[in-house]
């Protein structure tokens, strides 16, 4: 079933596997995508994935985090991105552009700036964002955010992309508004279940007006928030306590999913948890050394960032490691059972994300009707030819992804690639793999295309 075609609206996929969103420093400092961005995407397209969901491309000109990540906050970004889109499509691979806004969870910045603290409510959150506290957005700032998404949606269509995905997950701004443990507003954007959905509804309606009704739009949605993971200090405590402790549950998100269907959404992309570093979103190990590198890189921005980095540096690893790994473990197909609920409740096409790598398990997931398609990133980063191996009947590669999570933690500082030295014969071999695609000539990719 993996190699059976599938259609979402007017979008035809040649098989059931898409490369999920994975970000990296593949743009120029102003957010314009570079040749490295195009080569990175082409590498997956040349290896038989049915579609690629882009890195989360920022709709906000100020909040782009980390630097050298792509933007769609201005018309000047359209043409360079369209060249990458066309390059991917030449391999009979669909390209879906995912847009988002990090809001108060902005990870880092060249300089500390007030825009990076903006969220649904004023609060302190030790684990997320670099600002000392998140600051409640004004109604005018929310309206501007809606406009940013709508204009970015228009630009997505102008690039020639096959579809648009709006991230209401990952702990980003929409997710912040949806989450009852984060959103304590008392106006039309918070205070009740329906009002927390108001921002997302306005974004969808405004974006549809800009893209037209015939353009596929999907939503990346968490199936549950798990606010209590990771171990975190989040103040003030919200009441009722279950909302503050858990966030939205799967039953809450199923209701939101039905609302999304009523708004004309074409598919759901289901993941788990409240964004990185919540362990449900990236099942596997906690990347302690890589997170030290990242936190040390932005410790100069605020007192919170300095304290966070200092704690990781001072506490001995034999104490720190079990603490930081609370809740972190590999669970195969972690979202599969939840995806089935969304599929059954809404009737919408569903893409399941998280913990997929084995041919037999993916086949079982699809055949049992738990999902229509499967999205993965880390296993494809480890073995870019994974789909071709599946075609040969190979259940799992000789050197599979170990789900060490070094790659997502490395992306704000280092080139995209696999950083698990245990998968390579030497450090030189690992480095060659990391750097290969960044300057890969088009002719070489074209040669790979002909071989495939």
Task: Assess if residue 277 is contained within a domain.
Answer: yes
Task: Assess if residue 315 is contained within a domain.
Answer: no
> Is the pLDDT score of 67 beyond 90?
no
Q: Using pLDDT thresholds of 50, 70 and 90, give the confidence band for residue 66.
A: confident
Q: Using pLDDT thresholds of 50, 70 and 90, give the confidence band for residue 23.
A: confident
- The DSSP-derived string for 77-106 is GHHHHHHHHHHHHTTT-EEEEEEE--GGG-
User: For 118-137, how does the pLDDT look when each residue is reduced to its tens digit (9 = 90+)?
Assistant: 999 999 999 999 999 999 99
Phi, then psi, of 273 in degrees rounded to 5: 85, 180
Q: Is 452 within 8 Å of 46 (Cβ atoms)?
A: yes
User: For 170-197, how does the pLDDT look when each residue is reduced to its tens digit (9 = 90+)?
Assistant: 999 999 999 999 999 999 999 999 999 9
Structure letter (DSSP) for residue 127:
S
Residues spanned by the domain of 205: 6-285+329-451
Give just the sign of the alpha carbon dihedral 316, 322, 325, 326: negative
Domain count, the chain: 1
Task: Assess if residue 61 is contained within a domain.
Answer: yes
Burial class, 129, CB count within 10 angstroms (exposed 0-12 / middle 13-18 / buried 19+): buried
* pLDDT value, residue 442: 57
CATH of the domain at 383: 3.20.20.70
Structure letter (DSSP) for residue 237:
P
* pLDDT value, residue 295: 96
> Is the pLDDT score of 447 beyond 80?
no
For the chain, give the percent of residues with pLDDT over 70: 97
Q: Using pLDDT thresholds of 50, 70 and 90, give the confidence band for residue 437.
A: confident
Query: Tokens at residue 357, please?
Result: 């790598």
Preceding omega of 240 cis (within 30 degrees of 0): yes
* pLDDT value, residue 176: 98
Task: Assess if residue 295 is contained within a domain.
Answer: no
> Is the pLDDT score of 151 beyond 60?
yes
Task: Assess if residue 435 is contained within a domain.
Answer: yes
Question: Please, which residues have CB within 8 angstroms of residue 127's CB and are 6 or more apart in sequence?
Answer: 230, 232, 233, 234, 277
> Is the pLDDT score of 444 beyond 80?
no
* pLDDT value, residue 445: 53
For the chain, give the percent of residues with pLDDT over 90: 94
User: For 375-425, how does the pLDDT look when each residue is reduced to its tens digit (9 = 90+)?
Assistant: 999 999 999 999 999 999 999 999 999 999 999 999 999 999 999 999 999
Query: What average pLDDT does range 50-55 have in this prediction?
Result: 98
> Is the pLDDT score of 440 beyond 70?
no
Round the average pLDDT of the chain to a whole number and report it. 95
> Is the pLDDT score of 450 beyond 70?
no
Task: Assess if residue 322 is contained within a domain.
Answer: no
Strands (E), 188-295: 217-222, 234-235, 267-271
Phi, then psi, of 182 in degrees rounded to 5: -110, -40
Distances (CA, A) of 343 to 327, 394, 434: 27, 29, 37
Query: What average pLDDT does range 308-326 have in this prediction?
Result: 96
Task: Assess if residue 307 is contained within a domain.
Answer: no
pTM of the full structure? 0.96
Query: What average pLDDT does range 105-109 have in this prediction?
Result: 94
Task: Assess if residue 270 is contained within a domain.
Answer: yes
């Amino acid at each position: 079933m993996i190699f059976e075609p599938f259609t979402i609206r007017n979008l035809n996929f040649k098989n059931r596997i898409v490369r999920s969103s994975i970000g990296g420093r593949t743009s120029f400092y102003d957010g314009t995508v570079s040749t490295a961005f195009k080569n990175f995407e082409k590498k997956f397209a040349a290896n038989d994935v049915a579609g690629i969901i882009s890195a989360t491309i920022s709709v906000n000109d100020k909040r782009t985090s980390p630097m050298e990540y792509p933007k769609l906050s201005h018309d000047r970004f359209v043409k360079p991105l369209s060249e990458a889109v066309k390059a991917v499509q030449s391999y009979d691979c669909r390209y879906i552009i995912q847009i988002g806004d990090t809001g108060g969870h902005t990870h880092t910045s060249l300089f500390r700036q007030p825009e990076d603290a903006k969220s649904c409510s004023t609060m302190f959150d030790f684990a997320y964002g670099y600002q000392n506290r998140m600051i409640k957005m004004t109604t005018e700032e929310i309206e501007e955010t809606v406009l940013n998404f709508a204009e970015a949606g228009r630009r997505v269509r102008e690039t020639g992309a096959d579809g648009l995905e709006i991230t209401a997950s990952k702990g980003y701004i929409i997710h912040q508004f949806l989450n009852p443990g984060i959103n304590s507003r008392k106006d039309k954007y918070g205070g009740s279940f329906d009002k927390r959905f108001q921002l997302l509804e306005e974004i969808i309606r405004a974006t549809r007006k800009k893209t037209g009704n015939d353009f596929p739009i999907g939503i990346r949605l968490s199936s549950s928030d798990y606010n209590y993971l990771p171990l975190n200090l989040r103040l003030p405590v919200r009441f009722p306590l279950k909302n503050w402790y858990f966030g939205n549950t799967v039953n809450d998100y199923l209701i939101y999913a039905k609302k999304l269907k009523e708004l004309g959404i074409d598919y759901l992309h289901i993941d788990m948890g409240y964004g990185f570093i919540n362990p449900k979103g990236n099942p596997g190990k906690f990347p302690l050394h890589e997170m030290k590198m990242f936190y040390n890189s932005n410790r100069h921005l605020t007192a919170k960032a300095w304290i966070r980095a200092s704690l990781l540096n001072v506490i001995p690893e034999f104490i720190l490691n079990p603490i930081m790994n609370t809740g972190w473990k590999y669970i195969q197909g972690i979202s599969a059972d939840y995806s089935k609920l969304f599929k059954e409740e809404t009737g919408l096409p569903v893409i399941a994300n998280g913990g997929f790598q084995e041919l037999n398990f993916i086949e079982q997931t699809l055949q049992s009707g738990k999902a229509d398609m499967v999205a993965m990133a880390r296993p494809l980063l480890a073995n870019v030819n994974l789909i071709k191996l599946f075609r040969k009947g190979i259940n799992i590669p000789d050197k599979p992804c170990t789900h060490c999570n070094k790659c997502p933690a490395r992306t704000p500082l280092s080139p995209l690639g696999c950083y698990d030295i245990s998968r390579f014969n030497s450090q030189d071999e690992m480095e060659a793999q990391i750097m290969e695609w960044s300057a890969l000539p088009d002719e070489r990719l074209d040669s790979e295309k002909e071989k495939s």
